[in-house]
């Protein structure tokens, strides 16, 4: 299969103001892409857009939980570019607590951001890619979409949902020219754990974490090579064992393998 050239292509990255989304936006633009960087954090997006790169980074304030905000995002892309080649569904939040201590607001925030926002953004992107008979849809999933973790029940449910959604639309779009890829990046050194209330976990796993830049390099290569399933870092080391172990045992040995 012919490799994908990012130069002058149009990419949309959600959750672009920090972590993996920020690194992906910058690296794609360095390769000549026109990147629409979407996030609620306008100050961080403006700092990202100010960086000197070969391509272009266009910041667009977007809340993926809000349908009007998503509509405005795609209207801006339609107006200025008229096409969309790649969308990276990266926006996500976590929450760490037993389900009986998880409030309504936390449940809505995690599900609406991670799963519903991903579905809404993908629906808009695919409707445009179908007219081109080409495109790539990237889902940033997690080991938590294959093995559910206690105290991350709502987060895990969204990642399981993304895995199922990606599988389903891969079948729906198999003859469309649109490729679907799922990325499981492993544990990254970002503010995700602090926001999710998982400081102790982050401290214990610090030496095993990859930088967002390292993970972004893998994702960029997956886009260039049109790969369909990419598992990186700690997730890559553990995934082969998960296929052969009861899940209760898998959870027990996870710290020793990752």
**Residue-range domain boundaries for the chain:** 10-257
| pLDDT tens, residue by residue, 17-41 | 999 999 999 999 999 999 999 999 9
d(CA 80, CA 140): 26
Q: Which homologous superfamily does the CATH classification assign to the domain defined by 10-257? A: NAD(P)-binding Rossmann-like Domain (3.40.50.720)
Phi first, then psi, for residue 122 (nearest 5°) are -65, -40
pTM score, two decimals? 0.90
What mean pLDDT do residues 147-169 have? Answer: 95
**Burial of 181 per CB tally in 10 Å (0-12, 13-18, 19+):** buried
d(CA 213, CA 218): 9
Query: What pLDDT is recorded for position 214?
Result: 92
* C-alpha distance from residue 40 to each of 51, 82, 159 (Å): 19, 23, 21
| pLDDT tens, residue by residue, 119-151 | 999 999 999 999 999 999 999 999 889 988 889
What mean pLDDT do residues 239-243 have? Answer: 79
Neighbours of 203 (CB within 10 A): 9
């Amino acid at each position: 299969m012919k490799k994908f050239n990012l130069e002058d292509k149009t990419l949309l990255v959600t959750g672009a103001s920090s972590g993996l989304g920020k690194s992906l936006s910058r690296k794609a633009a360095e390769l000549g892409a026109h990147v629409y960087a979407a996030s609620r954090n306008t100050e961080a997006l403006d700092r990202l857009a100010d960086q000197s790169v070969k391509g272009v980074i266009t910041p667009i304030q977007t809340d993926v939980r809000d349908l009007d905000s998503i509509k405005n995002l795609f209207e801006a892309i339609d107006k200025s570019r008229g096409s969309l080649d790649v969308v990276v569904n990266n926006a996500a939040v976590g929450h760490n607590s037993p389900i009986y201590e998880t409030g309504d607001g936390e449940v809505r925030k995690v599900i609406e951001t991670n799963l519903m926002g991903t579905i809404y953004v993908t629906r808009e992107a695919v409707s445009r890619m179908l007219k081109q008979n080409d495109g790539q849809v990237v889902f940033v999933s997690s080991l938590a979409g294959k093995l559910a973790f206690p105290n991350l029940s709502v987060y895990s449910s969204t990642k399981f949902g993304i895995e199922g959604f990606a599988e389903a639309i891969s079948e729906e779009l198999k003859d469309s020219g649109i490729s679907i890829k799922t990325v499981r990046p492993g544990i990254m050194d970002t503010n995700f754990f602090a926001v999710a209330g998982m400081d102790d976990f982050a401290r214990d796993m610090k030496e095993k974490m990859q930088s967002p830049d390292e993970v972004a390099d893998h994702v960029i290569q997956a886009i260039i090579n049109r790969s369909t399933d990419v598992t990186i870092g700690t997730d890559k080391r553990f995934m082969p064992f998960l296929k052969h172990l009861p899940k209760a045992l898998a959870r027990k040995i996870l710290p020793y393998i990752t």
